[in-house]
Amino acid sequence: MQFHFTAAPPADVRLTARVVNQGAVLTGLDQALVEGAAAARFTGRAGQTFEGFASVNGALRRIALAGAGELDAAERRHHCERAGAALTAKYLVSGESAMVLDLAHAGLSPEDAAAVLLGLRLRGWRHDTYRTRLAADKRPSLATIHVTGAPAGTEAAWEREAALARGVEFTRGLVTEPANIIYPASFVAACEEAFAGTGAELTVLGEAEMAALGMGALLGVGQGSARESKLLAVRWNGSTASDKPTVFVGKGVTFDTGGISLKPPPGMEDMKWDMGGAGAVAGAMLTLVTRRAKANVIGVMGLVENMPDGLAQRPGDIVTTMSGQTVEVLNTDAEGRLVLCDALHWAQEQYDPVRIVDLATLTGAMIISLGYEYGGMFANDDTLAAQLTAAGLASGDKLWRMPLGASYDKLIDSPVADIKNVGPREAGSITAAQFLQRFIRNGTPWAHLDIAGMVWAQKPGHTWDKGATGYGVRLLDRFVRDVVEG
């Protein structure tokens, strides 16, 4: 979707949309439209739409109204996003190829106006690559938005949000692609292409390099796959100060069969998105690099495929992690923590971060706890937890803090190794976080985000269609904006 800022939009565009505040008096519109909106009970609440038709200079035009909610609402920006997204949802496959978007009547700030555009763009993302028989009336047609009446400063604000949209879309693409297209090596290749010429520094470790470093946990997960496991790091030095970097770590299991502890067949196809944490880190890094964030940030992604062949890891195997701690693998389907523990240790050894945040589609227990409304957050530092909570509220990628505590550690103590990779059924998400905490060194501020319920949606949301949501990209970008860049 292309956006053009103009004072005089093309006269031949048949569709004009106006953003309207809740309760606003409609002016400058055909009286029939005003009366029609009232009859349809259009009040301008966030995300509400109304469509009518009017004769403009002798030509019939479609006129749409999109509600942005109350002018002084605390969630004004989210409401503006909903206004833009609602227009896309209504007109994406309408047959209209262009829209004039009138922003002159809602008292928008530049940031609010950019939020309308962000909602328009994000709701329009689709992945139709493999749909060869899509009916004509189901194909996206809306491609160009002519923006008029935008307040001064909107174009600069939109440049920042466009970088964010690019990162979200990149993540959605990675998460949506099937496992025969996105696997560790092709994930790396996609990132190499996306970051080419940006100034970001990419480091890629193969199995030989990881074996030399002693990453027995990560390598154990991937040893049943014909696909080579990888570790990818994307480094962005955007600050002129010699600040220690902030590090984001993502779980990247590009397909998870469960290994020898095989998952049941129904729903296994969804496990292509078990790399949603790594996907979010990749998209967030692309956003930061694209907008030239004034921060030193590194994204680390552990990339494996968990398959059950004759070489696969068995329940009862004991592996030695890069940290030297040994793990008894009781369930090969509790593999994400094995990937993360080596990636976390390597990231701390390699970069000595000021703080570290990991993201992972780690446990089904988190979905039982929080459903599909919040990602779960575990943290060893109250300040970091509060900062991430605030970033979640501001971005819309919401988090809910869950407990950590020494009393949970005994649930994952092993009688034959330092630790076992699963505890009992109860507190499953907490014991997974406790496992990871054992690999955080020297009191480094750390947060673990269990986003199992958030990266994929079974029904459309405000700014996404059914499928990949891009969750995590907006959260990390907002965190960097508010905390790292300050």
pLDDT value of position 193 = 98
Exposure on the CB side of residue 303, measured as CA atoms within 13 A: 30
Greatest distance between any 2 Cα atoms in the chain: 84
pLDDT of residue 133: 92
pLDDT at residue 57, rounded to an integer: 79
* Separation CA 113–CA 19 (nearest Å): 10
The packing angle between helices 154-176 and 184-195, to 10°, is: 160
Distance CA 449, CA 436 (A): 11
For 354-376, what is the mean pLDDT?
Answer: 97
Name residues whose C-beta falls within 8 Å of residue 76's C-beta, 6 or more positions apart in sequence: 68, 69, 70, 112
Separation of alpha carbons 453 and 476, rounded Å: 17
SS3 state of residue 343:
helix
Bridge-partner residues for 300, per DSSP?
233, 249
Residue 204 in tokens: 């890629």
Q: Rounded CA gap, 461 and 55, in Å?
A: 34
What Å distances lie between residue 58 and 13, 30, 54, 55, 162, CA to CA? 14, 13, 9, 6, 36
Q: Where are the domains of the chain?
A: 2-149, 165-484
Orientation angle between helical segments 154-176 and 276-290, nearest 10 degrees: 150
Q: What is the mean pLDDT of residues 7-33?
A: 92
Average the pLDDT over each of 56-70, 100-114, 167-181, 357-371 and give the range with the smallest value.
56-70
pTM score of the predicted model: 0.96
| The pLDDT of residue 56 | 81
User: Please, which residues bridge with residue 319 across strands?
Assistant: 327
Contact 119, 75 (CB under 8 A): no
User: Would you state the pLDDT for residue 242?
Assistant: 81
E strand residue ranges, 307-429: 318-320, 326-328, 355-360, 375-379, 399-401, 419-420
Q: Is 316 exposed, middle or buried (0-12, 13-18, 19+ CB in 10 A)?
A: exposed
What would the mean pLDDT of 41-59 be, rounded to a whole number?
Answer: 91
CA 140 to chain centre: 23
- Using left for φ > 0, alpha for ψ between -120 and 50, and beta otherwise, residue 188 falls in alpha
Pick the CATH number of 165-484 from 3.40.630.10, 3.40.640.10, 3.20.20.70, 1.20.120.420: 3.40.630.10
Contact in structure between 453 and 366 (CB atoms under 8 Å): yes
β-sheet with 2-5: strand ranges across: 2-5, 144-148, 98-102, 15-20, 59-67, 49-56
Banded pLDDT at 342 (limits 50, 70, 90): very high
What distance, in Å, lies between the first and last C-alpha atoms of the chain? Answer: 31
The dihedral of CA 100, 105, 110, 116: what is its sign?
Answer: negative
Strand partners, 4: 146
Catalytic residues: 263, 337
> What is the average pLDDT value for the chain, to the nearest integer?
96
CATH of 2-149, one of 3.40.220.10, 3.40.250.10, 3.30.420.240, 3.90.550.10: 3.40.220.10
For residues 42 and 24, what is the distance between their CA atoms, to the nearest angstrom? 11
Q: What angle do CA 345, 347, 351 make, to 5 degrees?
A: 130
Q: Do domains 2-149 and 165-484 have the same CATH topology?
A: no
Percent of the chain at pLDDT exceeding 90: 94
- The encoded tokens of residue 475 equal 């959260």
- Tens of pLDDT, residue by residue over 427-476, are 999 999 999 999 999 889 999 999 999 999 999 999 999 999 999 999 99
According to DSSP, the residues that pair with 170 across neighbouring strands are none
- Signed CA dihedral, 447, 452, 454, 455: sign only: positive
Spatial distance between the Cα atoms of 479 and 203, rounded to a whole number of angstroms: 24
Predicted pLDDT of residue 442: 87
**CA dihedral (330, 335, 336, 339) positive or negative:** positive
Write the pLDDT tens digit of every residue in 143-198.
999 999 999 999 999 999 999 999 999 999 999 999 999 999 999 999 999 999 99
Residue 476: DSSP 8-state:
H
396-416 confidence digits (pLDDT tens): 999 999 999 999 999 999 999
Lowest mean pLDDT among 31-35, 252-256, 316-320, 375-379: 31-35
Contacts of 320 (CB under 8 A, 6+ apart): 214, 216, 217, 326, 327
Nearest-angstrom CA–CA distance, 221 and 421: 12
Write down the pLDDT at residue 59.
84
